[in-house]
Amino acid sequence: MNRERQERVEIEEASEVLPAVSFPELDPERVRVRRHHLLNEIGRPSGRRGVTAVLRPGRPMAVAWATFTAAGATAAALTFGLSGAQSRPDVPPASAASVRLLEKAALAADARPLPKAPPQGYTYVRTIGHSTALSENQDGRMDRERTSQNLEQWTSVDGSGRTLERKGGEDTLIPESPGKGSLNAPTFEFLAGLPTDSRALLDMIREDAERNHGSGSGSTTGPDQQAFVTIGDLLRGSAAPPDTVAALYRAAALIPGVFTVPEAVDAAGRTGVAVARNHDGERTEWIFDRSTMRLLGERTVLLEDNAWGEAGDTVTSIAVMKTGVVDKAGHTLQ
């Protein structure tokens, strides 16, 4: 099957698994901010930033672009997704269906209300699920152990307070406060300060991945896979401003090797459609609700037998149940 025909097939498949998403009205303040940003974007030189301006949501022009034909949408998104991509030559670019899915997730994310995040407040995340750990026993063999990921976490908005974790009914304070935050320990203010241009955002994430997982690092993960994992961790494990979430989805669409899985189930038993990437005998999936395009969770499925289990086993499955901002650590969301 040639590339053109393959893309047509993926467009048809994407249309079947991705129904139209309804977008709520933005509040007047967000409309004002986005109108101002749009006018600034129009005044910029054409090129890569011009494509970003077309695809960024929350404005009348972007909403109009979101409703044009599937073929045109995929063509524009693929052009956007391929710009500046750096990867192994044997890894194909993100598939047409995955680019379309991630764009719909970005549009849905950016249409959500901006949470009020006072500097002394805390972001709140509640997850359920499990991960798998390996340990060597006395016989020198590897034992597998399932670890619960049922937990609640409160992270200081400005990074000045210590992070509180509640797991199994017990509260634990992380020894050090997150401070300004980082990709590995993000705060709301850190996430709000990330670039909202998807190319610039991916370059920043990939630079960190290259430093720790690139050639000469001894890591087998590689920069592309690590960038995908980092974005997934930021989306699943923290609360972020809507435009940051949207930019993260669009940055993921620039990573080669990303594709869709039509049917996936999260740790809470909710079914959805997934964006995924294969690496080293396993598939990492981000699972989305088909109707709202909200991220439901993430799971890792083995593609071949290894020390972690047998092909088809789900070794990690984490469902995101609640995210938001609260006044104090220990307060929850209904």
pLDDT given for residue 220 in this prediction? 79
- Quickly tell me which residue has 């991945």 as its tokens: 209
Closest CA to 81 of 293, 251, 276: 251
In percent, how much of the chain has pLDDT > 90? 65
- Helix, strand, coil % in the chain, rounded to nearest 5: 35, 25, 40
pLDDT band at 41 (very low <50, low <70, confident <90, very high): very low
pTM: 0.76
Residues 49-68: pLDDT tens digits?
Answer: 233 333 322 222 222 223 22
Q: How confident is the model at residue 136 (pLDDT cuts 50, 70, 90)?
A: confident
pLDDT of 14 reads: 54
Question: pLDDT at position 87, please?
Answer: 52
- Over residues 252-281, the pLDDT tens digits come to 999 999 999 999 999 999 999 999 999 999
Q: Going along 247-331, which residue ranges are E strands?
A: 258-265, 271-279, 282-288, 295-302, 314-326
| Sheet strands (E) in the chain | 122-136, 142-148, 151-156, 164-167, 170-173, 258-265, 271-279, 282-288, 295-302, 314-326
Q: Strand 271-279 vs strand 282-288: parallel, antiparallel, or unpaired?
A: antiparallel
Mean pLDDT score of the chain: 80
